[in-house]
């Protein structure tokens, strides 16, 4: 038989080991509307082949963003498919002063994730990501930014875009020492 003190110690040790290994809390994940990244292209290159490459890269990093946010255990995506027409009508979001916030609220999200890839040239790109509170009061443009980050990348490749997104999520959105978004 284990004494009461040993049992409590064993229980605390098991809990500390679990959280140390998984890094996840028991808090319920927060519903998030993941609008993902859009492209703001400063270059004058309008070739269809280049646009197809950029579209493919956006799909790639948006899928990676969803994976990383879900894998954190802090966020759970809401279904935005029923809002596809509204999303198409309102986008690009980087031009609309937080117009996606109403869509996120209607989808049942408490947070939204929206970003932009700014292509200055084929060598210089910048990736920005914001996680904002969903404003349930409906005050346009008033969504509070709870996490944000920006990274400049060199090279217009799948690998550089993916590295940029992974860096942003790991070191800005879920940076060590920040409180969990699910609290």
Q: Kindly report the CATH number assigned to the domain that includes residue 97.
A: 3.40.50.10610
Provide the domain limits for residue 58. Answer: 26-173
Q: Is residue 138 part of a domain?
A: yes
Residue at 40 is within a domain: yes
pTM over 0.85: no
**Rounded Cα gap, residues 85 and 179, in angstroms:** 35
Q: Smallest Cα–Cα separation from 151: which of 126, 174, 175, 129?
A: 126
Q: What is the pLDDT of residue 35?
A: 96
The pLDDT profile of the chain, 183 residues, written as one tens digit per residue, is 545 444 444 444 444 434 444 455 568 999 999 999 999 988 877 889 888 999 999 999 999 999 999 999 999 999 999 999 999 999 898 888 788 999 999 999 999 999 999 999 989 999 999 999 997 665 565 678 999 999 999 999 999 999 999 999 999 999 999 999 876
Q: What pLDDT shows up at residue 147?
A: 96
Q: Are 118 and 95 a contacting pair, CB within 8 Å?
A: no
Element (H, E) at 32: strand 30-41
Residue 92 lies in a domain: yes
Residue 182 lies in a domain: no
Structural domains in the chain (count): 1
Q: Give residue 182's pLDDT.
A: 77
- Going by their DSSP bridges, the two strands 111-119 and 124-133 should be labelled as antiparallel
- Report yes or no on 15 lying in a domain: no
Distances (CA, A) of 105 to 32, 79, 98, 130: 10, 12, 12, 16
């Amino acid at each position: 038989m284990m004494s009461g003190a040993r049992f409590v110690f064993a229980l605390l040790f098991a809990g500390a080991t679990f959280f140390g290994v998984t890094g996840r809390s028991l808090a319920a994940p927060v519903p998030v509307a993941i609008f993902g990244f859009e492209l703001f292209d400063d270059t004058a290159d309008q070739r269809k082949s280049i646009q197809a490459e950029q579209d493919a890269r956006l799909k790639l990093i948006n899928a990676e963003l969803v994976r990383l946010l879900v894998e954190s255990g802090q966020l759970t995506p809401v279904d935005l498919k029923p809002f596809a027409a509204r999303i198409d009508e309102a986008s690009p979001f980087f031009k609309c002063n937080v117009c996606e916030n109403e869509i996120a609220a209607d989808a049942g999200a408490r947070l939204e994730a929206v970003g932009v890839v700014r292509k200055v040239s084929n060598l210089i790109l910048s990736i920005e990501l914001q996680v904002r509170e969903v404003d349930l009061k409906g005050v346009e443009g008033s969504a509070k930014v709870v996490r944000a980050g920006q990274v400049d990348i060199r090279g217009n490749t799948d690998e550089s875009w993916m590295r940029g997104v992974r860096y942003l999520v790991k070191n800005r959105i879920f940076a060590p020492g920040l409180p969990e978004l699910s609290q």
